[in-house]
Amino acid sequence: MVRHGQSEWNAQGRWQGQADPPLTNHGRLQAMRAAEKLGMFDALASSPQQRALETATILAEAIGVGPVLIDDDLRERNAGEWSGLTREEIDEQWPGYLDKGRLPPSFEADEPLLDRVTGALLRVGGRARGGEVLVVCHGGVIGVIHHHHGERHRRIPNLGAQWVDAHHDRLELGEEVELIEPEPSVDRDDRRV
């Protein structure tokens, strides 16, 4: 699983959720640099959101795999009322929520997110029949897999990657992979941008 390249809202520090901002030119360059570290894959799948799909298309062209399989259940977590807002705007409108880990009412909970993402990964893995699939998705999607496996929350950088083994009815967490050199964060919120 690979998080998409930098989007316009990542660059502005805005929570995206299921909003659909495009990649920045920097995000496209990140994807091209990441492709240099990728090996061979049997298939490539992506969230339908343009920041993930464009990243996936760049990677697919670079490694010679395609077409990109799109699965709607790989889309990012719904950020509800916080979509499009910066951390400062959230703190202003919902004082103390971020510091206390509180979320707005329409923010997608972990359990339904985990259910849809697990289903998508098992479907995509099944299509590859035991092969390796590169899945381009979102930080919240990778984060819910970490959380489910007892991992402490950590920010997933753009083009951050995580091996996940899909078995018949469950997922197993593998190693984390750095595809590009760490960059100073422009995602001011390290939770779920």
Helix 110-127 / helix 139-148 crossing angle, nearest 10 deg: 100
Residue 182 pLDDT class (50, 70, 90 cuts): confident
Interior/surface letters 65-86, b for 16+ CB within 10 angstroms, e for the rest: beebbebebbbbbbbebbbebb
The least confident of 63-67, 100-104, 105-109, 165-169 is 165-169
In degrees rounded to 5, what are phi and psi of residue 44?
Answer: -135, 130
Would the pLDDT of 72 be above 90?
yes
Q: What is the pLDDT of residues 121-132, one digit of tens each?
A: 999 988 887 789
* 89 CA to centre of own chain: 23
What is the DSSP-derived secondary structure letter of residue 23?
Answer: B
pLDDT tens column, 35-50 = 999 999 999 999 999 9
pTM above 0.85, yes or no: yes
Quickly list DSSP for 122-144: HHHHHHTTTS-EEEEE-HHHHHH
- In whole angstroms, what is the distance from residue 71 CA to residue 170 CA? 18
Q: How far is CA 38 from CA 84, 133, 142, 178, 180, in A?
A: 32, 12, 18, 10, 11
Domains of the chain: 2-178 (3.40.50.1240)
pLDDT band at 185 (very low <50, low <70, confident <90, very high): low
Which one is catalytic: 4, 54, 108, 138? Answer: 4
Q: Is 92 a catalytic residue?
A: no
For residues 82 and 183, give the distance between their C-alpha atoms in angstroms, rounded to a whole number: 25
User: What is d(CA 137, CA 116) in angstroms, rounded to the nearest whole number?
Assistant: 13
Interval 169-192 mean pLDDT: 74
- Number of Cβ within 10 Å of residue 189's Cβ equals 18
Q: Is 175 a catalytic residue?
A: no
The residue from 54, 76, 108, 138 that is catalytic is 76
